[in-house]
């Protein structure tokens, strides 16, 4: 497994470099073909290369991605290494180890009938080129297992917040800031009012909700103006929204679209909207109960679960009604960070758990 992981990690696959993603797809395809005994279907959407293996009528989807956040050349500063049982390298934890685990888990099964493996190439940049493909497969399946890395301590991810992205554009009126500023409508000031108004939006959405697992509405990038001596005619506030439930996502959308201008003569335009629906814990409960029982049977100890604020492609599969269990990939830490790593000793036990989960669901579906 370590040799296979090295093969994937040393082929860099920065999401923004489509040629690199295509080269990575070739390496992943070759490795998968060795273990699964079949070549994948190569699906290129908007220049992004995805891979799909289908065996019979799919009832179980194994979902992962081969793109990473690491720019080309990161191997120079973050080389592949295995030291004292710790595996390092760009994308090793998020989530190339998960792909290796898929191939080894499925190679251990007596049959692959009823299984689909989908490896996308744009998860780290929002999955615009793969969302329709993911949802199409998930609609036909009884379960999706997402090979994103586990949470702290190896916990599976049974809940993920949904995401929305907005741009609040303030439209004002330009004027010379020295000669006649009073004739302008300052969009930068209007943008400041909008930024402050987001606190009230957040408070209203979270009213009556329990502490901790709540909606967050966060202004991130603020831009305004064109020159230093002109009253800004336009300004924009980028807003990142994370929601625990679909109801909260809809409530937030309504609240943001209701924002009005404060300054006379200004106008507010709301762009964007929901991106990923939440993976609510009800979508994972049954599969996690099965995973916990299988972990005990395999002697892997007590399996933990958690809900996290970050989103994955599992949000899409849960959003179309497919029961989804996430975080089944590597145990380690440091996703997207300098200390990204995988604990080598956990690779085989977690792969055995994945194989048992897949077989359990496939067998249950076949017995229907």
Q: Angle 347-366/285-297 helices, nearest 10 degrees?
A: 120
Peptide bond into 273 cis (omega under 30): no
Tokens representing residue 365 in the block: 């579906």
Q: Per DSSP, which regions of 262-328 are E strands?
A: 267-276, 305-308, 324-325
Residue-level pLDDT at 92: 98
Question: What's the rounded Cα separation, in Å, for the pair 23 and 29?
Answer: 10
Pairing of strands 175-176, 230-231: antiparallel
- DSSP alpha helices (H): ranges in 126-271? 131-138, 187-206, 246-257
Residue with tokens 């080389």: 79
Contact 313, 63 (CB under 8 A): yes
The pLDDT value given to residue 209 = 78
| DSSP code for 279 | B
**Residue 81, token pair as written in the block:** 């290494």
332-333 and 341-343 as β-strands: parallel, antiparallel, unpaired?
antiparallel
Question: Is the C-alpha dihedral spanning 70, 43, 130, 306 positive or negative?
Answer: negative
Amino acid 194: pLDDT: 98
Q: CATH classification of 162-276 is 3.20.20.480, yes or no?
A: no
Single out the residue of 312, 340, 352, 306 nearest to residue 153, CA to CA.
306
Q: How many CB atoms lie within 10 A of CB 36?
A: 18
pLDDT tens figures, 65-124: 999 999 999 999 999 999 999 999 999 999 999 999 999 999 999 999 999 999 999 999
User: How far apart (Å, rounded) are the C-alpha atoms in residues 128 and 165?
Assistant: 13
* pLDDT value for 213: 81
Q: Residue 4 has which token pair?
A: 């296979």
CATH code that applies to domain 2-161+278-366: 3.40.630.10
Sequence spans of domains, the chain: 2-161+278-366, 162-276
Which pLDDT score, from 0 to 100, does residue 208 have? 81
Cα gap 129→41, rounded to integer Å:
16
Per-residue pLDDT of the chain (368 residues; tens, 9 = 90+): 999 999 999 999 999 999 999 999 999 999 999 999 999 999 999 999 999 999 999 999 999 999 999 999 999 999 999 999 999 999 999 999 999 999 999 999 999 999 999 999 999 999 999 999 999 999 999 999 999 999 999 999 999 999 999 999 999 999 999 999 999 999 999 999 999 999 999 999 999 877 768 999 999 999 999 999 999 999 999 999 999 999 999 999 999 999 999 999 999 999 999 999 999 999 999 999 999 999 999 999 999 999 998 899 999 999 999 999 999 999 999 999 999 999 999 999 999 999 999 999 999 999 98
Q: What pTM does this model have?
A: 0.91
CA distances from 197 to 31, 65, 272 (A): 52, 37, 18
Cβ contacts of residue 27 below 8 Å, gap of 6+? 7, 8, 11
């Amino acid at each position: 497994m370590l040799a296979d992981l090295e093969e994937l990690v040393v082929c860099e696959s920065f999401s923004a470099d489509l040629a690199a993603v295509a080269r990575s797809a070739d390496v992943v395809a070759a490795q998968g073909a060795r273990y699964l005994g079949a070549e994948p279907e190569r699906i290129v959407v908007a220049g992004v290369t995805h891979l799909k293996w289908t065996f019979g009528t799919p009832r179980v989807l194994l979902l992962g991605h081969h793109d990473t956040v690491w720019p080309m050349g990161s191997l120079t500063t973050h080389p592949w290494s295995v030291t004292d049982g710790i595996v390092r390298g760009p994308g090793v934890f998020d989530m190339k180890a998960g792909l290796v685990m898929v191939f080894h888990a499925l190679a251990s099964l007596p049959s692959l009938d009823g299984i689909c493996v989908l490896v996308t190439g744009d998860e780290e940049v929002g999955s615009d080129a793969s969302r329709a493909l993911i949802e199409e497969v998930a609609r036909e399946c009884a379960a999706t297992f997402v090979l994103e890395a586990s949470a702290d301590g190896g916990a599976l991810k049974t809940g993920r917040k949904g995401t929305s992205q907005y741009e609040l554009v303030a439209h004002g009126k330009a004027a010379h800031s020295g000669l006649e500023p009073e004739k302008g409508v300052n969009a930068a000031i209007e943008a400041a009012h909008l930024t402050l108004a987001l606190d009230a939006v957040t408070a209203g959405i979270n009213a009556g909700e329990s502490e901790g697992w709540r909606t967050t509405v966060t202004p991130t990038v603020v831009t305004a103006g064109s020159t230093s001596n002109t009253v800004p005619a336009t300004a924009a506030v980028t807003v990142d929204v994370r929601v625990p439930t679909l109801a909260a996502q809809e409530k937030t959308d309504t609240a943001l679209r209701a924002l009005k201008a404060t300054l006379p003569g200004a106008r507010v335009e709301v762009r964007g909207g929901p991106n990923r629906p939440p993976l609510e814990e009800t979508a994972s409960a049954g599969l996690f109960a099965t995973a916990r029982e299988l972990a005990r049977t395999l002697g892997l100890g007590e399996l933990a679960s958690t809900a996290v604020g970050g989103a994955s492609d599992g949000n899409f599969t849960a959003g179309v009604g497919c029961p989804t269990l996430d975080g089944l990939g590597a145990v380690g830490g440091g996703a997207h960070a300098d200390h990204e790593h995988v604990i080598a000793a956990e690779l085989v036990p977690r792969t055995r758990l994945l194989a048992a989960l897949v077989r359990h669901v496939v067998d249950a579906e076949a017995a229907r």
